[in-house]
Structure 1
Amino acid sequence: MMNLKKCALHTAVAMVCATGAQLANAGATISFGEDKYISAGFGFITSYNSVEDAVNSNSDRSNDFTLDSARLYLSGSFNKYIKGMLNTEKSGGGSAGSNVEVIDANVQFQLTPEVSIWAGRFLSPSDRANMAGPYYSMGGGYWANIASRYGWNGGVIGRDDGVAVVSSFLEDHLAISFGAFEGNQIFRFSGVGAQSQSTTTKDNLMYAGRVQYNFWDAEPGYYGTGNYFGAKDILSIGIAGRMKKDGSVAPSVSNAVGDYKSYSVDFLLEKKDVGPGTFSAEAAYYYYDTDNVFLGEQGKAYSAGLGYLFSEPVGWGKFMPIVRYQKFDADGTTSFNSTTNVFTNSRTGGDTKRMEVGANYVIAPYNSVITATYGKTDTSGASSDNFLKVALQMQF
């Protein structure tokens, strides 16, 4: 999820929206006068992936190069009170047959230095992992998709069409956001399918909110980041939630309908000058409730990560060893029979966990990062997947 604080493409938007840009070296801006401009840029994440026993009747390793993400960024300004942005992404969850779709198309009205209104398509208030997204996580296009399920599955890569009040107080140490959204694609890539509004239920909106407090350095802005690569001392706690009445819909023959709710608590610590570098730690807890409609998307989830960025450059960049863990304790499994068009729930299985160890080579924070990780994914009722991934992230 594109972080508009850190890329020069969004620097001017961010400043007027009380975001305070930093570490920006990407994008180009054409000015048409005071507070009038158009900015453009692009970014991509590509990777090499090798998974054990993934081909040849589960007897050989796979070897694949993948374009995980490709984005075009546009932003503009009428004046210091009205800004907007338009961003696109290669859709389809990373599949080869994916298309390009609009992920951000919104306007920001800056009512006061502390309060703005966002309208259109954008990231609804949620957990830090979703607000940061793959380009602004702990490096290398990392998606916390096992734990942060709405960020991966919901809406258009975590985005929704709606309106939100975005505010920050106490010199940007306290951030509060709340909004109302369409919320009709809560389970888009989850395996239970994108759930459109049912004709047998009321057309309810989804409501989402987030409260975050920073004890050390402030974090200006709405879109967030998962790591500052030594630029700040951060101690932050965030609480987020979303709900939609009749938001869990199993269509056709099944025709089960229930309310959707999710809550999360996230934590980020980053401290400079800890020995020869910067130490960072992150953690989050999630709870998902589908009113027992989709047991495979209902349950508790956890994520955690540690990183250490060495201050001394080696060649073009700096090394940052990392370790990451995710787990989703689902209440069961959900399957779909395409012949009978029926969803089936089972109270057994459904748990997924992933462990990764590796390192980032940070050439330019957020704009040029190479990441290599080795990990293992365990899913109950299925064999484990041992994988090697080398990713290149670039933004211009």
Structure 2
Amino acid sequence: MMNLKKCALHTAVAMACGLGAQLANAGATINFGEDKYIGLGFGFISSYNSKEDAVNQGSDRSNDFALDSARIYISGSFNKYIKGMLNTEKSGGGSAGSNVEVIDANVQFQLTPEVAIWAGRFLSPSDRANMAGPYYSMGGGYWANIASRYGWNGGVIGRDDGVAMVTSFLEDHLNVSFGAFEGNQIFRFSGVGAQSQSSTHKDNLMYAGRVQYDFWDAEPGYYGTGNYFGAKDILAIGVAGRYKKDGVVSPTNVVGDYKAYSVDFLLEKKDVGPGTFSAEAAYYYYGTDGVFKGEQGHAYSAGLGYLFQEQVGWGKFMPIIRYQKFNADGVTSYNSTTTAFTNTTGGGASKRFEVGTNYVIAPYNATLTATYGKEDTATASNKDFVRVALQMQF
């Protein structure tokens, strides 16, 4: 879709899962002529996690090392009009028994400089957190599956099979995307026992769209980022939505419509004192027609960061703070062994607060993150946690 020879910004698109507007050098490119190339790269996130009362029947603190993510990136270009990508990820919700699966496999037809068609498996238009992904978020690592729920729970690590029109206008200040997708894994890791469509249910498509406007510097590209580490001045607002009729099917064959929309905000200003200040916020609504009350409700997230320009050792320090909350309409639980399904009203709030710092060695490609926080969910009532994550891309 994009010409890598124009700028290193576009190199990040092809090499790092097509993750849009980044100043990164992730991967190596083998050229075969004008607008003909193959790009290769890989990335991983490894972490240490310690949680209060998480083992020994809730009486002892856990201490765990985990491989949160492992990705291989392959991109290619036939000419300036036809490009594609093939990317893999360690799946399974971070569990020890996870496998490797394809998360991106698509072709991009650049019809005009402003209009492209994406087809295959890729990120459907959605909120900034999902479009940025774990490697391009301000705090590093994976979401806690609290506010931006589709990014972790929906599809294949936020991806879906379908087709979308991706457009940009006003010198990349206005970006509009809209598409139709399969949408049959919306609640993949939720544990609510959601059923995909079968011969007894209608096979409707899921429609998704996003509109974003940048008031200051422009953000070219479809996939996005949550932070520019002082490379740009950003003031952006995005609105996204998705809908699938009969897209919610419970284990007891109760059917409802799936709908979700969000509004997100990002501000980043360089040269604020001795560094760069950033602020992000988002609001979400999820609807299931009451079929899964634990996946239905309003969510909020907000974060602040400050990147000091002075280098200390190998990198620069970036203190961060983040808050997420999901006010679910109830609690939904499903036991796959006994097939017991419950759906109750009330008591479904989840929240997570964390504070810490990034140590940015190379933006997007080498970052060490350490945070301390508190979380209050159905499985962890106001428990503290410590997380140290190493993120690298090559």
Question: TM-score per shorter chain, which class?
Answer: over 0.9
Match of residue 357 from structure 1:
355
Secondary structure of 2:112 counterpart: coil
Counterpart of 1:230, as a letter, is G
Q: Output aligned runs, 1:1-396, within 5 Å.
A: 8=11, 10-11=13-14, 22-143=22-143, 145-251=145-251, 254-338=252-336, 341-379=339-377, 383-396=381-394
Q: CA deviation at 1:11?
A: 4.8
Question: In structure 2, how many angstroms separate the alpha carbons of the residues matched to 1:25 and 1:80?
Answer: 20
Counterpart of 1:294, as a letter, is F
Point out where structure 1 has 5 or more consecutive residues left out of the alignment. Answer: none
Could you tell me whether the CA contact under 8 Å between 1:13 and 1:75 is conserved in 2? no
Question: In structure 1, how many angstroms separate the alpha carbons of the residues matched to 2:28 and 2:134?
Answer: 22
Question: In structure 2, how many angstroms separate the alpha carbons of the residues matched to 1:104 and 1:380?
Answer: 32
Q: CA deviation at 1:340?
A: 5.3
Aligned pair in 2 of structure 1 residues 14, 66: CA closer, same or farther (>3 Å)? closer
Secondary structure of 1:308 counterpart: strand
Counterpart of 1:369, as a letter, is T
Question: In structure 1, how many angstroms separate the alpha carbons of the residues matched to 2:214 and 2:180?
Answer: 25
Q: CA deviation at 1:22?
A: 4.7
Counterpart of 1:165, as a letter, is M
Point out where structure 2 has 5 or more consecutive residues left out of the alignment. Answer: none
Q: CA deviation at 1:198?
A: 3.3
Please say which of residues 196-205 and 260-269 is displaced more in the overlay: 196-205
**What is the TM-score with the length of structure 1 in the denominator?**
0.94
Question: In structure 2, how many angstroms separate the alpha carbons of the residues matched to 1:91 and 1:339?
Answer: 22
Aligned pair in 2 of structure 1 residues 343, 202: CA closer, same or farther (>3 Å)? same
1:166-212 deviation line (CA, Å, top 9, x unaligned): 00000000000000000000000112135311332211000000000
Could you tell me whether the CA contact under 8 Å between 1:139 and 1:369 is conserved in 2? no
Question: In structure 1, how many angstroms separate the alpha carbons of the residues matched to 2:259 and 2:336?
Answer: 27
Q: Size of the alignment, in residue pairs?
A: 388
Counterpart of 1:49, as a letter, is N
Secondary structure of 1:130 counterpart: helix
Could you tell me whether the CA contact under 8 Å between 2:68 and 2:142 is conserved in 1? no
Could you tell me whether the CA contact under 8 Å between 1:13 and 1:77 is conserved in 2? no
Aligned pair in 2 of structure 1 residues 176, 250: CA closer, same or farther (>3 Å)? same
Counterpart of 1:214, as a letter, is D
1:44-93 deviation line (CA, Å, top 9, x unaligned): 00000111111122222111110000000000011000000000000001
Aligned pair in 2 of structure 1 residues 360, 368: CA closer, same or farther (>3 Å)? same
Q: CA deviation at 1:148?
A: 0.6
Question: In structure 2, how many angstroms separate the alpha carbons of the residues matched to 1:183 and 1:352?
Answer: 25
Q: CA RMSD in A?
A: 2.0
1:324-352 deviation line (CA, Å, top 9, x unaligned): 00000000011124455343210021110
Please say which of residues 59-68 and 194-203 is displaced more in the overlay: 194-203
Question: In structure 2, how many angstroms separate the alpha carbons of the residues matched to 1:274 and 1:359?
Answer: 18
Q: CA deviation at 1:236?
A: 0.3
Could you tell me whether the CA contact under 8 Å between 1:50 and 1:387 is conserved in 2? yes
Q: CA deviation at 1:382?
A: 5.2
Question: In structure 2, how many angstroms separate the alpha carbons of the residues matched to 1:315 and 1:193?
Answer: 49
Question: In structure 1, how many angstroms separate the alpha carbons of the residues matched to 2:82 and 2:379?
Answer: 52
Secondary structure of 1:333 counterpart: strand
Please say which of residues 23-32 and 332-341 is displaced more in the overlay: 332-341
Question: In structure 2, how many angstroms separate the alpha carbons of the residues matched to 1:381 and 1:103?
Answer: 29
**What is the TM-score with the length of structure 2 in the denominator?**
0.95
Aligned pair in 2 of structure 1 residues 388, 13: CA closer, same or farther (>3 Å)? closer
Question: In structure 1, how many angstroms separate the alpha carbons of the residues matched to 2:97 and 2:149?
Answer: 23
Question: In structure 1, how many angstroms separate the alpha carbons of the residues matched to 2:318 and 2:16?
Answer: 30
Secondary structure of 1:151 counterpart: helix
Question: In structure 2, how many angstroms separate the alpha carbons of the residues matched to 1:37 and 1:258?
Answer: 46
Question: In structure 1, how many angstroms separate the alpha carbons of the residues matched to 2:380 and 2:78?
Answer: 54
Aligned pair in 2 of structure 1 residues 62, 337: CA closer, same or farther (>3 Å)? closer
Aligned pair in 2 of structure 1 residues 339, 40: CA closer, same or farther (>3 Å)? closer
1:109-154 deviation line (CA, Å, top 9, x unaligned): 0000000000000000000000001000004214252101111110
Q: CA deviation at 1:13?
A: 11
